[in-house]
Amino acid sequence: MIRRLIIVAAICAALPAAAQDSGERQEPRDAAAAELGATTDGFVLQDGEALYNAACAGCHQPQGQGAIGAGVYPPLAANPRLEGGRYPAWIVLNGMGAMPNFNDWLDDEQIVAVVSYIQQSFGNRYDAHPTAEMVAGIRANLSDAVPEGDE
């Protein structure tokens, strides 16, 4: 929990001001927020590679090789656990270990984009990408256990 708060605090500190509470995601207000690709409501980037670089590469590393330090961030490169779409989408939504959840930070299409990017990068060639409907179903049942396999 403390790690998640630190990550959120770091993201918020990079942003100049809180977004207005309109119920919709706000566009970045200045260059710093645009560079981060996020507002205080969530990420505004839509491209899977851009989302990976903004939200994932800091821990999983730019080439998906993973890291061990303040936490353990498993390699995504040549990772057979990414073969199906449900498991990696569940992890992005729920978080695991040192990884925070991105349930409130990414919408269904963004999760599809970043998971699909990871499944086709770093030596991975997996085609069972999640769908927005699959992600919405996982999101509706966040308390479900880690999926054993994909549907």
> Of 34, 55, 33, 35, which is closest to residue 113 (Cα–Cα)?
55
> Of 122, 142, 30, which is closest to residue 81 (Cα–Cα)?
122
pLDDT at 145: 74
Query: For the CA atoms of 132, 117, 104, 101, what is the dihedral angle to 10 degrees?
Result: 120
pLDDT at 42: 79
Percent of the chain residues past pLDDT 70, beyond the cut: 74
The rounded distance, in Å, linking the Cα atoms of 43 and 28 is 9
Mean pLDDT of 119-143: 93
How many distinct structural domains can be found in the chain?
A: 2
Claim to verify: residue 110 and residue 64 sit in the same structural domain: yes
Which residue do the tokens 């991105």 mark?
A: 102
Strands 42-43 and 72-73: unpaired
pLDDT at 24: 52
| 120 three-class SS | coil
Claim to verify: residue 75 and residue 117 sit in the same structural domain: yes
Could you tell me if 115 and 92 are in contact, meaning their C-beta atoms sit under 8 angstroms apart?
Answer: yes
pLDDT digits (tens, 9 = 90+) for 26-57: 454 556 555 667 777 778 889 999 999 999 99
Mean pLDDT of 106-130: 96
Angular region, 45: left φ>0, alpha ψ -120 to 50, beta rest: beta
Encoding tokens for residue 136?
């919405």
E-strand stretches of 2-148: 38-39, 42-43, 67-68, 72-73
**Residue 87 domain boundaries:** 45-151
CATH of the domain at 121: 1.10.760.10
For the whole model, what pTM was predicted? 0.73
Mean pLDDT of 68-85: 93
Claim to verify: residue 49 and residue 117 sit in the same structural domain: yes
pLDDT digits (tens, 9 = 90+) for 86-106: 999 999 999 999 999 999 999
